[in-house]
Amino acid sequence: MNWDVWLVGLGGGAGAALRYLVDRAVSRAVGTGLPWGTFTVNVAGTLLLGLLVGAAGAAALPPRLWALLSVGLCGALTTYSTFSHEVLSLAREGRVPAAAGYAALTGGCALAALAAGAWAAGALL
């Protein structure tokens, strides 16, 4: 039996549920004018992935834990498909500057979070 598949599935289930809960909480807190819930999960998920990448690079993360947390949890927590749909929806609503700004902000912040997480893990380990 391939335990990695089960670990990815377990992490994925947790990540999907966490994404749903965070998205709802953020949307309630700040409103739905822009998709801030998706922004939050994407940036937080890539920060976590950066920490995991940094830990894995320091040989501090066993392969099965990598499968559970990076592929499973982070893979389901972050969402490129929902992000893309929301950008397209904003553009179709005639909010092209908001769509472009949201896309640029999400991409930039996610990359910065990934780098910051990797750096932090490397510095701590």
**Number of folded domains that form the chain:** 1
- 3 state SS of 32: coil
Q: Is the pLDDT of residue 58 over 80?
A: no
In Å, how far from its chain's centre is CA 87?
A: 16
103 φ, ψ (degrees, to nearest 5): -65, -45
Residue-range definition of the domain harbouring residue 19:
3-121
* CA–CA gap between residue 122 and residue 25 (Å, rounded): 31
Work out the average pLDDT over 56-77: 92
* pTM given for the model: 0.93
User: Annotated binding residue at 75?
Assistant: yes
Q: Is the pLDDT of residue 60 over 90?
A: no
Work out the average pLDDT over 31-49: 97
DSSP state of 96: H
User: Annotated binding residue at 78?
Assistant: yes
Q: How confident is the model at residue 1 (pLDDT cuts 50, 70, 90)?
A: low
